[in-house]
Structure 1
């Protein structure tokens, strides 16, 4: 599903114009993005938890040359689905 398809469904289910639906969807995504960028966790009831985790430096290997390299520390985004979502998918 694409963002455009989400906008279509929001507009269809709420009865608002496409322009207003685009603004609503963009606003929700912006709030989610800024929350995660600041390092906060995001919990959406019935959907799941988005968490930002810190990964430390680690040793790796260049597969083409076999040379050892250091993979720098970084933050990653993790998603854990809620039990409600898991149950609805497996129903």
Structure 2
């Protein structure tokens, strides 16, 4: 499912117009991004949680040349599924 399909489903299930559903989906995405930028996690009980994790610096190899590269440490977004979501997917 892509974003336009998600917006259509949200509109259908909530009774909102597609324009209002799009605003709601975009607002949700922006809110999650802003929260993660400010180092806060977002927890949706039953669905899951979004958080920022630190990835340690590491060494890797260039596949063509075999040259060793250093990859810097980075903050990366992470999602952990909640119990209800896990059970629904089983």
CA drift of 1:10 comes to 1.6
Any idea what SS the aligned residue of 2:34 has? helix
CA drift of 1:48 comes to 0.9
TM-score (norm 1): 0.87
Count of aligned residue pairs for this structure pair: 90
Q: Distance in 1 between matches of 2:27 and 2:41?
A: 18
Unaligned runs of 5+ in 2: none
Asked if 1:68 is matched to 2:90, the reply is: no
CA drift of 1:39 comes to 2.0
After TM superposition, the runs of 4+ consecutive aligned structure 1 residues lying more than 4 A away are none
Q: 1:11 matched to which residue of 2?
A: 11
The CA RMSD over aligned residues, in Å, is 1.3
